[in-house]
């Protein structure tokens, strides 16, 4: 059976403010989707809502992963079902070593019924795997002993997200601007890294403002978000259009959504 | 009770004192010291306690006459020690309900002139070593009511003496236990490192069960000679029915180094007065504190870093995690004498709150008389960052596991300063245990 992530009529509030106003999207294993849209259009909100961030409340609609309703599940349960979010702004956890964190993470993901205190993935096996993955992402092994994202440069944090993706091997990965703030070598490592990781087993949603990541990982679908809705879906040529011409034409094609987008911007500014 | 009391509690009055002397077999010089101290104790009871130190400690719940020193030496219960088994010790002393129940030292250390054992026994055999230091330099009986009370009624305690140029590589272990309801322990830890000596002493306190009320009124004196190097650790892990009061002071001579780690995990009410006194030029005092308070625990520290000589360095880092309705108070002071130029003093306390019903107060302070010094202090208190919890959970960690990692990570910077693996391991195990309670 091909895995399916199904988002239906999703409405999401942040605190009391409605941000997503009916998002519909289906991602199947093996597919790459690009999600584009202007700043503030709701891309990260969708990503957080999928991952289960407590501040993002689903007020209507459903998210299903292979038939399981995610709405009521906490972020850990969603992760254990195979969902992964590479954060636009990865969080620092002082004093927690990357290796310890990842060992706990993969132990839970690979054994979803694992309870706290139960056995972890054997150390030797874990170390070997971590070393290999770090090697293929051109990361120095000393990062494994550093504290999670503490003192990491912007690019190092993004690479750490990809390393986690590589270790956790989710069914569905959402990459929220993983290519932002990277120098061109780093974009290449991250893009190539992602190419190696994707395949028929994984569905990917790439949120991006840039071309490079999509050149390495060509999407079958491109979606444009505006004012909290997906207003257009096309193929890679839609992404190309936006890269070349910006959002002006799209706004003209969707005046209502464009107006709503401006409203949200006015409220939050 | 921070005001004057006038009459001593029944279990520590004159009749109790005389009975206590009667039942012990102290040498004359000790009896003299005790009698002087008992007189001071009675005077001090009529004086209020220093409000700066005591105003944030609620002593009203403490009823000293509920506790008494026990005349019976326990049979030596099996104790659930945390440190034992974590490291290879070259000496071990255990006290239970104020009585020494076992004392061992490796023969190789005896050959080098190291003394390690029970104060009650050593006052008979090693007066010449003990007398110059015992409550004369670090903690004087007339310091306050608690110091005098301890000086009159001390029950025993662990002594470590390391002669000049002698370095003891393996750690030594001291265990202080309370195993009987209403029992009191007035143990006195005395460490004397002669010039250029070095040693590591790991001390832990614990209770025999969860429910027996106990009283510890302790004293720790650490004497670090020139070029000497002491690592001293005290893990306070009483049950939550125990009162813990202690005067603790470490004196460091020229170019000596003292690394002092305290941890407070247990006790119903704990108040520790901790002094680091840098008396010799170039001496260094480093203090690490790990506190994890839960339920209704009240933990209070009054710390002083006193710089009496040039080019001295003190560095205090306290980390506190609080949950439920617990309360932690830290009052810290750096004092720099006129002649202590070019000193470097640092103090910092960070509190992590796991519930909004807990309360942490940090009050750092500086008293600086020299003009060419660098002294800095800081204090932070904050809730667990929910973004961190979410991030960890989005990687499959349960909420509990995420909290655990965040708490461990919070303590990590202080663990990183503790070179003894057994201590790090013990603390981290204790944190796991405490996280479990009430969840
Ligand atoms: N936690 C929050 N608190 C308040 N407003 C929020 C919050 N999160 C999102 N919003 C608002 O929701 C709207 C959508 O934000 P979102 O982060 O989803 O945009 P985005 O499409 O990811 O933009 P960008 O391209 O800049 O990353 C914005 O107006 C934003 O200000
Ligand atoms: Mg965004």
pLDDT tens digits along B280-323: 999 999 999 999 999 999 999 999 999 999 999 999 999 999 99
Q: Which residues of B touch A (CB under 8 A)?
A: 385-388, 390-402, 404-406, 408-413
User: Ligand 2 centre and the CA of A178: distance in Å?
Assistant: 10
pLDDT tier, B439 (very low <50, low <70, confident <90, very high otherwise): very low
Q: Which pLDDT score is estimated for B254? A: 98
Average pLDDT on A72-83 reads: 97
Domain ranges for chain B = 10-384
Residue A40 alpha carbon, nearest atom of ligand 1: 19
Decide if B397 and A105 are in contact by the 8 Å CB cutoff. Answer: yes
Is B405 in Cβ contact with A100 (below 8 Å)?
Answer: yes
Listed residues: CB within 5 A of ion ligand 2? A 43-44, 88
Q: What is the pLDDT of residues A8-63, one digit of tens each?
A: 999 999 999 999 999 999 999 999 999 999 999 999 999 999 999 999 999 999 99
> How far is the C-alpha of B199 from the C-alpha of B230, rounded, in Å?
5
SS3 per-residue string spanning chain B: CCCCCCCCCHHHCHHHHHHHHHHCCCCHHHHHHHHHHHHHHHHHHCCCCCHHHHCCCCHHHCCHHHCECCCCCCCCCCCCCCCECCECCCEEEEEECCEEEEEEECHHHHHCCCEEEEHHHHHHHCHHHHCCCCCCCCCCCCCCHHHHHHHHHCCECEEEEECCCCECCCCEEEEEEECCCCEEECEEEEEEECCCCEEEEEEEEEECCCCCCEEEEEEEEEEECCCCEEEEEEEEECCCCEEEEEEEEEEECCCCEEEEEEEECCCCEEEEEEEEEECCCCCEEEEEEEEEECCCCEEEEEEEEEECCCCCEEEEEEEEEECCCCEEEEEEEEEECCCCCCCEEEEEEEEEECCCCCEEEEEEEEEECCCCCEEEEEEEEEECCHHHHHHHHCCCCCHHHHHHHHHHHHHHHHHCCCCCHHHHHHHHHHHHHHHHCCC
Question: Where are the domains positioned within chain A?
Answer: 4-268
Q: From the list A93, A109, A115, which residue is nearest B392 (CB)?
A: A93
Ligand 1 pocket test, pick from A18, A37, A42, A267 with the greatest ligand atom count within 8 Å of Cβ, gives A42
Q: Express each pLDDT in B342-379 by its tens digit.
A: 999 999 999 999 999 999 999 999 999 999 999 999 99
Q: Which pLDDT score is estimated for B2?
A: 63
**pLDDT at residue A184 greater than cutoff 90:** no
Look at residue A269 in the predicted model and tell me its pLDDT.
54
Interface predicted TM-score of the whole assembly (ipTM), two decimals: 0.96
Residues B19-24: what's their mean pLDDT? 96
Contact check, Cβ <8 Å, B400/A116:
yes
Instruction: Tell me which residues have their CB closer than 6 angstroms to ligand 1.
Output: A 14, 19, 37, 39-45, 55, 88, 264, 268
Q: What is the mean pLDDT of residues A201-209?
A: 95
CB B258 within 8 A of CB B285: yes
Has residue A208 got a pLDDT over 60?
yes
List of chain B residues whose C-beta atoms are within 8 Å of the C-beta of residue A93: 388, 391-392, 405-406, 409
In angstroms, rounded to a whole number, what is the distance separating the alpha carbons of residues A232 and B10?
Answer: 85
**Which residues, including other chains, have CB under 8 Å from residue B119's CB and lie 6 or more apart?**
B130, B154, B156, B157, B158, B159, B187, B188, B190
How far away, in angstroms, is A205 Cα from ligand 2 center? 13
Please give the helix or strand (H or E) that residue A159 lies within, else none. helix A154-168
Look at residue B402 and tell me whether its pLDDT is greater than 50.
Answer: yes
Tell me the average pLDDT of chain A.
93
Cβ-defined contact of B396 to A79 (cutoff 8 Å): yes
Q: Whose CA is nearest to atom 19 of ligand 1?
A: A40
What is the mean pLDDT of the segment spanning B257-273? 97
Residue of B nearest to A74 (CA): B393
How far apart CA B204 and CA B429 sit, in angstroms, is 14
Residue A174 near residue A51, CB atoms below 8 Å:
yes
φ, ψ of residue A64 to 5 degrees: the values are: -125, 140
Ligand number with the minimum distance to the CA of A175: 2
pLDDT tens column, B155-214: 999 999 999 999 999 999 999 999 999 999 999 999 999 999 999 999 999 999 999 999
* A221-249 pLDDT per residue, tens: 999 999 999 999 999 999 999 999 999 99
d(CA A166, CA B394): 15
Q: How much is the mean pLDDT over chain B? A: 94
Cα A42 to ligand 1 centre (Å): 6
Point out the residue among B391, B401, B411 whose CB comes nearest to the CB of A104: B401
Interface A–B counts its CB contacts (< 8 A) at 89
- Report how far apart, in Å, the C-alpha atoms of B293 and of each of B271, B274, B287, B327 are: 13, 19, 19, 7
The 10s digit of each residue's pLDDT in B197-208 is 999 999 999 999
CATH numeric code, A4-268: 3.40.50.300
The CA A45 to ligand 1 mean position distance, Å, reads 6
Query: Taking CB atoms and an 8 Å limit, are A53 and B393 in contact across chains?
Result: no
Q: Considering Cα of B121, then B122, then B126, then B130, what sign does the dihedral take?
A: negative
Q: What is the pLDDT of residue B72?
A: 86
Residue B376 CB coordination number (10 Å): 12
Q: Is the pLDDT of residue A201 over 80?
A: yes
Residue predicted with more confidence, A211 or B372: B372
**Atom 22 (ligand 1): residue with closest C-alpha?**
A44
Query: What is the band of A268 on the pLDDT scale with cuts at 50, 70, 90?
Result: low
Token code pair at residue B329? 């108070």
Expressed in angstroms and rounded, the spacing between residue A90 Cα and the centre of ligand 1 is: 16
Q: What is the pLDDT of residues A138-176, one digit of tens each?
A: 889 999 999 999 999 988 999 999 999 999 999 999 999
Residue of A43, A53, A247, A265 best suited for mutating to test ligand 1, as the one with most atoms within 8 Å of CB = A43
pLDDT at A202 over 80: yes
What is the C-alpha end-to-end distance of chain A, expressed in Å?
46
Residue carrying the six token digits 């995420």: B402
pLDDT value for B270: 98
Q: What integer pLDDT is reported at residue B332 of this predicted model?
A: 96
The residues, any chain, with a CB within 8 Å of residue B74's CB and separated by 6 or more, are B96, B97, B99, B101, B179, B180
- Other Cβ atoms less than 10 A from the Cβ of A153: the count is 12
Reported as a pLDDT band with limits 50, 70 and 90, residue B76 is confident
Say yes or no to pLDDT of B4 above 80: no
Confidence of residue B77 (pLDDT cuts 50, 70, 90): confident
Which of the four pLDDT bands, split at 50, 70 and 90, describes residue A267? Answer: low
Report the range of poorest mean pLDDT among B109-113, B116-120, B413-417: B413-417
First to last CA, chain B: 35
Higher pLDDT, B404 or A267: B404
- What is the Å distance from ligand 1's center to A43 Cα? 8
- Find the ligand nearest to A209 CA: 1
Q: Which residues, other chains included, contact A48 with Cβ-Cβ below 8 Å and sequence gap of 6+?
A: A55, A56, A85
Find out whether B182 and B150 touch, Cβ atoms under 8 Å.
Answer: no
């Amino acid at each position: 059976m091909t895995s399916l992530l199904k988002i239906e009529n999703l409405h999401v509030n942040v605190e009391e403010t409605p941000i997503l106003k009916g998002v519909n999207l289906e991602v199947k294993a093996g597919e790459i989707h690009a999600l584009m849209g202007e700043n503030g259009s709701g891309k990260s909100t969708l990503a957080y809502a999928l991952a289960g961030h407590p501040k993002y409340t689903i007020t209507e609609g459903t998210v299903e992963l292979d038939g399981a309703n995610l709405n009521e599940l906490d972020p850990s349960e969603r992760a254990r079902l195979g969902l992964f979010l590479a954060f636009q702004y990865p969080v620092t956890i002082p004093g927690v070593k990357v290796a310890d964190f990842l060992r706990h993470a993969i132990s839970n993901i690979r054994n979803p019924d694992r309870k706290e205190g139960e056995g972890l993935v054997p150390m030797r096996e874990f170390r070997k795997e971590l070393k290999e993955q770090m090697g293929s992402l051109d990361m120095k092994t000393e990062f494994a002993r550093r504290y999670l994202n503490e003192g990491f440069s912007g690019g190092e944090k993004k690479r750490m997200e990809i390393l986690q993706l590589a270790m956790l091997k989710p069914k569905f990965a959402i990459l929220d601007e993983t290519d932002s703030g990277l120098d061109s070598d780093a974009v290449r490592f991250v893009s190539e890294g992602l190419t190696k990781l994707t395949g028929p087993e994984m569905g990917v949603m790439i949120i991006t403002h840039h071309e490079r990541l999509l050149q390495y990982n060509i999407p079958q679908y491109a979606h444009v978000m505006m004012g909290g809705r997906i207003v257009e879906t096309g193929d890679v040529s839609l992404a190309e259009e936006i890269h070349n011409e910006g959002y002006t034409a799209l706004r003209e094609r969707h005046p209502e959504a464009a107006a709503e987008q401006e409203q949200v911007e006015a409220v939050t500014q | 009770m921070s005001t004057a009391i006038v009459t001593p509690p029944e279990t520590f009055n004159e009749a109790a004192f005389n009975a206590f002397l009667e039942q012990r077999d102290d040498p004359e010089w000790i009896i003299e010291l005790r009698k002087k101290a008992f007189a001071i104790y009675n005077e001090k009871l009529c004086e209020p306690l220093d409000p700066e130190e005591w105003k944030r400690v609620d002593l009203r719940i403490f009823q000293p006459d509920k506790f008494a020193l026990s005349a019976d030496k326990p049979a030596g219960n099996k104790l659930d020690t945390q440190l034992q088994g974590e490291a290879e010790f070259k000496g071990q002393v255990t006290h239970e309900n104020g009585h020494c129940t076992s004392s061992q030292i490796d023969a190789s250390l005896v050959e080098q002139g190291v003394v390690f054992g029970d104060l009650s026994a050593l006052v008979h055999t090693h007066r010449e070593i003990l007398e110059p230091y015992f409550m004369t330099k670090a903690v004087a009986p007339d310091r306050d009511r608690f110091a005098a009370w301890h000086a009159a009624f001390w029950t025993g305690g662990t002594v470590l003496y390391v002669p000049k140029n002698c370095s003891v590589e393996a750690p030594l272990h001291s265990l202080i236990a309370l195993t009987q309801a209403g029992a009191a322990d007035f143990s006195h830890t005395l460490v004397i490192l002669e010039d250029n000596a070095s040693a590591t002493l790991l001390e832990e306190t614990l209770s025999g069960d969860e429910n027996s009320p106990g009283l510890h009124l302790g004293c720790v004196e650490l004497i670090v000679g020139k070029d000497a190097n002491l690592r001293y650790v005290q893990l306070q892990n009483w049950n939550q029915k125990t009162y813990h009061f202690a005067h603790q002071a470490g004196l460091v001579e020229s170019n000596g180094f003292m690394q002092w780690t305290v941890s407070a995990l247990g006790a119903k009410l704990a108040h520790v007065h901790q002094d680091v006194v840098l008396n010799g030029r170039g001496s260094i005092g480093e203090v690490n504190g790990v506190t994890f308070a839960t339920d209704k625990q009240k933990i209070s520290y009054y710390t002083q870093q006193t710089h009496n000589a040039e080019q001295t360095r003190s560095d205090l880092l306290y980390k506190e995690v609080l949950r439920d309705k617990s309360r932690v108070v830290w009052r810290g002071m750096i004092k720099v004498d006129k002649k202590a130029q070019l000193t470097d003093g640092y103090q910092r306390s960070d509190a992590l709150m796991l519930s909004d019903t807990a309360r942490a107060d940090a009050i750092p302070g500086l008293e600086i008389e020299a003009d060419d010094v660098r002294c800095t202090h800081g204090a932070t208190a904050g809730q667990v960052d929910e973004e961190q919890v979410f991030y960890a959970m989005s990687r499959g960690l349960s909420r509990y596991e995420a909290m655990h990692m965040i708490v461990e990570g919070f303590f990590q910077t202080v663990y990183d300063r503790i070179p003894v693996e057994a201590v790090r391991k013990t603390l981290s195990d204790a944190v796991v245990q405490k996280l479990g309670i009430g969840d």
